[in-house]
Amino acid sequence: MTLDPDGATTGACGADAGALRIPKTELNALECASNHFSRFSPPRTFSEPVVRAGGAADFLTLTDLVDTISPLSTAQETTDMVRINPSLMFSGACGDAFRRYASLFGGEIVLMLTYGESPAKSQVPDDWHEKVWFARLRAGGLDITGGDLASSETPSGFSMVIGVANATEADRVFAGLADGGEVLMPLQATHWSPRYGVVRDPFGIRWEINCDAERVAEGL
């Protein structure tokens, strides 16, 4: 993995994977993927060379990858002392889930790496090479990260809460999340919102849809 003059990181995970170029501005997202690294102990050595600042080349380990990413991510300063973003783990459906979320929320998948493109390629079965090792979705002013884990448990104990501007948007988003999933509380008027409902999407994630609009004149 090398940093070229235009600020992009270029690397390859195996000869058949081809070159992977990641904008420097998105490298901070990969730091979140370090939660995956704890599955490998001790750190494994992979076949791609890394060129260090002094020009010497050796081989990339998982520890090297974290050390390479961390300084770049901390260079991106934020006015917040703490940034909290959700990370959603799936058992193989992360790609489909994030594509649906991007479409429903008007968001953008800014980064999606498969296992076949990652340093973990040799550690997973061939049929997992197209599964998502790390993904980042930006929508509604929030970054949602995620990936696929073979040992992923059924998500529980939390909800993702979506605020929408009006009842029409509430209906649209609720229907999109409920398609193939389970309605836990039908979309309805409450004392705080003209539209509120709860759904578990087909990927196992629980969502609360809440309309932030002012209550309508007819008492909703």
- pTM, whole model, 2 decimals? 0.64
What average pLDDT does range 8-34 have in this prediction? 47
Look at residue 40 and tell me whether its pLDDT is greater than 60. Answer: no
Look at residue 88 and tell me whether its pLDDT is greater than 90. Answer: yes
For the chain, give percent helix, strand, coil, nearest 5.
25, 30, 40
Give the three-state DSSP class for 150.
coil
Look at residue 217 and tell me whether its pLDDT is greater than 80. Answer: no
Three-state helix/strand/coil letters over 91-121: CCCHHHHHHHHHHHHCCEEEEEEEHHHCCCH
| Domains of the chain from N-terminus onward | 2-78+86-148 (3.30.720.100), 160-211 (3.30.720.110)
Confidence of residue 172 (pLDDT cuts 50, 70, 90): very high
Look at residue 174 and tell me whether its pLDDT is greater than 80. Answer: yes
pLDDT at 195: 93
Side chain identity at residue 9, one-letter code: T
Cα–Cα dist 152/132, whole Å:
13
Side chain identity at residue 172, one-letter code: R
For 103-138, write each residue's pLDDT tens digit: 999 999 999 999 999 999 999 999 999 999 999 999
Confidence of residue 79 (pLDDT cuts 50, 70, 90): low
